[in-house]
Chain A
Amino acid sequence: MLRRAIGRYGLTLTFIFGAAVFPVWADEGAAPEAKKAGDKDKGVVSVELGKEVYIKRCLGCHGAEGAGDGPAALRFKPVPRDFTKGLFKYKSTPHGSVPTDEDLIKVVTNGLPGTGMPAWKSIMKENQIRSVVQYIKTFAPQFKDAAPKPITIGPEVKSSPESIEKGKALFKELACFMCHGEEGRGNGPLAPSLKDNLGRHVQPRNLTKGWIFRGGGARENIYMRVNTGLMGTPMPSFADKLDNEKSWHIANYVNSLSQYPGVPDWNVAVMAKPIEGDVADDPDDPRWNDLERHSFPLVGQVTIDPRMFTPTVDMVTVKAMYNEKDIALLVIWDDPTKSVATPAAGETVPEVFDDAIAVQFPTKLLPGTQKPYFIMGDINNSVYVARWNGRTNAVDEFNANGTEVRVGLRITPQAEVNWQFKGKGTYKQGQYKAVFKRPLVTEDKETDLQIQPGIFYPIAFTAWDGSNGERDAMRSLSAWYSLYLEVPASNDRFIYPTLFLLVVVGVEWWIARSYRNGNGNGKQK
């Protein structure tokens, strides 16, 4: 009886036992909030709960009184919203009116890309989000008795070359380029002088980077932005100049400017292609156009004092080619202004410094996966840095053995005769392009990295935007990535699979033959 029962259900029982153990794992991943939330605030939306949530989660940036002045505030750009003014940027209501609850809920839920505002949905429950929105509204008198009406988005005009062309004409007609620049890189002539309602400089959005549009990079988000404007900033609403169709044309045009659909596919290595003839030494060499681009994120240097919390350059794009003698890297990055160091008057520190970019390698390739510390090396392992300066349009080289607050930067400049990298750069429409060209093998075996094809070399990037006060340690930088000089793939990938195929065919033939000889059932005994 038991035997039969086990026979019939044993397998099922095994699975059930297994399933019973799951909650152990399942529970581990659950958000801690979910565990702690008591029954009392289940599903309830109230200003009191909102205040509780605000104090715990929002105060650090937005401040106790909602004035956008929490402890973190001054190190963020853009600074956290000051709720007391009632000015909100990302909303669906006409310029001048307060946002709807749904607008605010959306911002809290999904966050604002490219800012310190995260997507709270991962640790806040829906009723907590709704409550905190009710509480935020208590900071500004404008919300009292307000009944904001959202703008409706009319029938969609699909993106097409014609629509984009019309959008481009409107971009000119409405003088969008005065702030956003002719190619949309936020480098228009008015850009340096733009101020927000509190008199702080605001940088017009670089429209070629759709993934950092705070209100979203989708076409309907752009439609909304040109119709609502951004309250508290110089970005006006164009609602009275645009009908539904024109709004879509603009949205389609701006969307078409973005370098990547969605978020950039960050790379992990620069792959250099072998070429015939001399490598390019000019950024405008047409051969660069055919090469694959590799993009890497740059972030503020916030590890070593003096730190840089609000750098300008947030990515570099690199292309590379080499021949048997030389390697050339083309580094491309956006910077809204070309800055040249202004001479210091007396002892005052200049406000503007030189724009510059640098590539960093280990001085020597270390065994295994060892690398020098990624910020200017360390005491035991030095790095080799080639830095292109926008003012001199030339590259200098130095070695560094790390930085320490107490010791300072341990830098050894190389003698000018030993500079191996030749550099040449251009600045056009808010974008720098600089070529770094060097022989693969150099004379200075002690202080230069020696490069050969088929090996991964660590490479890192760093940028300075002089007009943003960036110099020395205050800059943006990348972690280590790799540089690889591509070699033709070996033929092993064809030879071995074909050998395996022949073996399998042989075995099949052998089986078939044995079956034929034994009449099929011959092997069964």
Chain B
Amino acid sequence: MEKIKKKGMPPGLRVALSLALFYLFLRFIVQPPLPFSVIFMYMAMALAGAIMYLTLFFDIKEVIVNPIYTFLGGGVEGGVAKGGRYALLVAMPLVVWFGSYQKFNKEIQPPLDPRVIHPAPPVEFTGLYNPFNVEDKETLRKSVADGKEIYYKNCIFCHGDLLDGDGIYAHGFNPRPANFQDPGVLPMLQESFLFWRISTGGISLPQESTPWSSAMPKWEDMLTDEERWKVILFLSDYTGFVPRSWE
């Protein structure tokens, strides 16, 4: 006890404080915001490090167990410790009551629609490649321009002027239209997948992707094969993202 005090802040507290600061850093400082799963991973690593640090260099009983006993068991008589002890005694049951009340008093929510976002394409739509993605710069440029026109006449209402899935009708649909500016979309999908989704639309999604609330039209009814391939070229050109190629 005496030995630790000499070093300043007790190591247990120091570690707890570092972990808290690290969490705040991950949660609020890092931009863009990290998904919770990633924060969780980092925190787990940090916690493991912290435990290693404490167990390697300190007597675990001294830095963690003893302070708790001191607090609970009254190693320090009277004063702050005593007040804190009583506060904890009263607060614990109340926290449990409120916590569980909130769990039980959940607002009634409509059932969520779990669905597979990127189902596997049917056989006839696998391994396709874009016939307009040619070496010749001039021909390519012409195809992109055609694709652009088709996009502006048909796709812009949902997928938006910015191609970010925020067109003027986007707020009315669930699922939201795809955001092509998201690095998790084009670079993650194969061209044949894009061609499939554009061709057969929301109505033709397989069973695992139900409910079929996607408003994506069945474009093969309204656009030719060529037009659909050209739109895919335009998506890449505008966003700078290239769909995964078939290997």
Contacts and interface: CB of A to CB of B under 8 A. Distances in A.
B166 A11 contact: no
B45 A497 contact: no
A75 B157 contact: yes
A61 B151 CA distance: 11
Interface stretch (A27-35, A285-293, A420-428, A443-451): A27-35
A348 interface: no
Given A70-B152, A374-B215, A369 B114 contact: yes
A120 B148 CA distance: 18
Contacts of A353: none
Given A26-B32, A456-B111, A373 B203 contact: yes
Contact of B49 (A10, A302, A500, A505): A10
Q: Chain A: interface secondary structure?
A: mixed
Interface in B32-85: 32, 34, 38, 42, 45-46, 49-50, 52-53, 56-57, 65-66, 69, 72-75
A7 B53 contact: yes
A269 B101 contact: no
Interface in A459-514: 477-482, 484, 486, 489, 492-494, 496-498, 500-501, 504-505, 508, 511-512
Interface residues on A, range: 35 or more
A114 interface: yes
A371 B222 CA distance: 25
B105 A123 contact: no
B8 interface: no
Interface stretch (A14-22, A136-144, A337-345): A14-22
Contacts of B152: 60-61, 70-72
B89 interface: yes
B200 to A, nearest CB: 12
Nearest to B74: A520
B132 interface: no
B110 A484 contact: yes
Contacts of B221: 305, 404-406
A11 B15 contact: yes
B169 A302 contact: yes
17 contacts: A7-B56, A18-B42, A18-B46, A22-B30, A25-B32, A71-B152, A71-B153, A72-B152, A116-B161, A118-B166, A269-B110, A271-B108, A303-B201, A370-B210, A456-B110, A486-B108, A515-B72
A451 to B, nearest CB: 15
Given A10-B52, A370-B211, A493-B105, A508 B97 contact: no
Interface string B93-125: 110111111001100111111100000000000
B113 A373 contact: no
Nearest to A15: B22
A300 B157 CA distance: 9
Interface of B: 15, 18, 22, 30-32, 34, 38, 42, 45-46, 49-50, 52-53, 56-57, 65-66, 69, 72-75, 89, 92-94, 96-101, 104-105, 108-114, 148-149, 151-153, 156-158, 160-162, 164, 166-169, 171-174, 181, 183-184, 201-203, 210-213, 215-218, 221-222, 238-241
Contacts of B241: 32
Contacts of B46: 14-15, 18
Nearest to A23: B30
Nearest to A14: B49
B101 A494 contact: yes
Interface in A24-70: 25-26, 28-33, 35-36, 56-57, 60-61, 70
B38 A309 contact: no
Residue of B56, B104, B105 with most chain A CB atoms under a 10 A cut-off: B104
A498 B113 CA distance: 33
Nearest to A480: B213
B181 A479 contact: no
A369 B111 contact: yes
A26 B113 contact: no
A122 interface: yes
In the complex, the 4 A-B pairs of residues with the closest C-beta atoms, listed nearest first: A299-B172, A29-B32, A14-B49, A299-B169
B110 A493 contact: no
Contacts of A402: 203
Given A10-B52, A60-B152, A493 B38 contact: no
Given A122-B164, A302-B157, A520-B75, A480 B222 contact: no
A500 B97 contact: yes
Contacts of B101: 493-494, 497
